[in-house]
Amino acid sequence: MAAERLMVSVSGVRGTIGETLTPQVAMEFGLAFAAMLGAGRKVAMGRDTRRSGEMIAAALSAGLLAGGVDVIDLGVVTTPGAALMTRRLACDGGVIVTASHNPPKYNGIKFLQPIGVGLTFDGAAELKRLWESRKFALMPTERVGRASRDDRTHDEHLAAVCEVCDVPAVAARRFKVVLDCINGAGCIVTPRLLECLGCEMILLNGEPTGEFAHTPEPIEENLTGLCRAVREHGADVGFAQDPDADRLVVVAEGGKFIGEEYTLALAAAFVLRHRKGKLATNLATSRMIDDVAAAAGAEVVRAPTGEANVVEAMLREGCFFAGEGNGGVIEPRVVPVRNSLVGMAYLLQYMAETGKPLGALAAEIPAYVMLKTKFPAPAGVAPRVAAETKKHFAARGGSRFDERDGLRVDLPAGWVSVRASNTEPIMRIMAEARDRAAAEALVAETRKLADAVIGKQ
């Protein structure tokens, strides 16, 4: 069944524990990454709080060590924290054991470049080829890697975020913040950040148990408790993280959920008050970022979906800031990956500087309705769905197409995209328009085309 296959993509490896992602698979990927880097290299390794994390990390570490690579165990850390330490420890690569926003039965392995960002498309393809070949080099005793431990990640990460934020300005406002860490990796360092920023904090799900208090994807239907807590406590803002704390979703005063797409748009509006230049994002991010940039005389560079693709575009085009519409803020001065802690610091500073509540700041950005749907899809069907969708909209006329990442169709009244997920055995349809009816029509039209193609399988 499609739901049972191991996902191996540019975003790493993801599967179900006891089924597709086993200790044997993790060990083999450790050996493959060791073969890719070469014996004598050094890797930093972290994990989120999932119950299976210790098991997968141990097996992964065994493979790396057997392949002759030294492993620095960071323990339970956020993904941006692991990325930061990969760079600061001058490692040749990094690994983070996490399944991000997926349910507890999943876990995964994300492989990092020395700068902390995920592998390039070519790098991921090479790793997959080495894993599939099973031609691993097992080192003799004298060349087996060495294991060590480093517990400085949270201190280093906290200091790096505070360096790019006006801490006294935020602390002077004494914001009341409700924080939902979902019992993930963020619950260790994030309360410390809010304390440094002088916030009065109400902490929800703040134990690093990996027992997720609600479905972990930080979307509206999963955050009703956060919205209620913001309202009941009269808080200025509510922050929600995913289990590895790279994504941030925000609830405004009064308990109003404003949507994950606003995280990047608001952060961009803030940074453009202080710096000018290009911004980078992906093809699936709301047009809000374009409106924010245009108002400040800035330019937006679009890249295929996937953090590594956005960072590659950011570096290539000389962008000073980047992110993704899934709640991912990328501040390269800290580390070039999505970072929920940076997002919190920047939004709080934006509120402090303007004296405006978050809801008012969000209302200043032209509004769109974005719909995101997903559905199971057989392996290999995505190109046929994209081809049929392009044919359909081309016949209508007035459309522009971008095929770098599935298919995005830009229309005068909005846009729609269809693509295979990098992390789940599904396809995603996204659409955006000025009103809900128009967005729903685009989704329905595209889903009908997809169903027709899948029905012929």
Active site residues: 100
Q: Which amino acid is at 362?
A: A
In 3-state terms, the chain is what percent helix, strand and coil (to 5)? Answer: 40, 25, 35
- β-strands 200-204, 237-241: how paired? unpaired
Q: Report the alpha-carbon distance of residue 155 to residue 397 in Å, rounded.
A: 55
With beta carbons less than 8 A apart as the criterion, state whether 149 and 75 touch.
yes
- H helix intervals, 7-52: 23-37
Which H or E run contains 200? strand 200-204
Q: Report the alpha-carbon distance of residue 440 to residue 225 in Å, rounded.
A: 27
Residue with tokens 């890797």: 43
Q: Hey, is 405 helix, strand or coil?
A: coil
Per DSSP, the residues of 278-332 read EEEEETTS-THHHHHHHHTT-EEEEE-SSHHHHHHHHHHHT-SEEEETTTEEE-T
What are the tokens at 408? 């995005």
> Which value, in Å, is the radius of gyration of the alpha carbons in the chain?
22
Q: Hey, is 9 helix, strand or coil?
A: strand
- Which class for 322: exposed (0-12), middle (13-18), buried (19 or more C-beta within 10 A)? buried
Cβ-based neighbours of 352, under 8 Å, separated by 6 or more:
166, 169, 170, 172, 173, 175
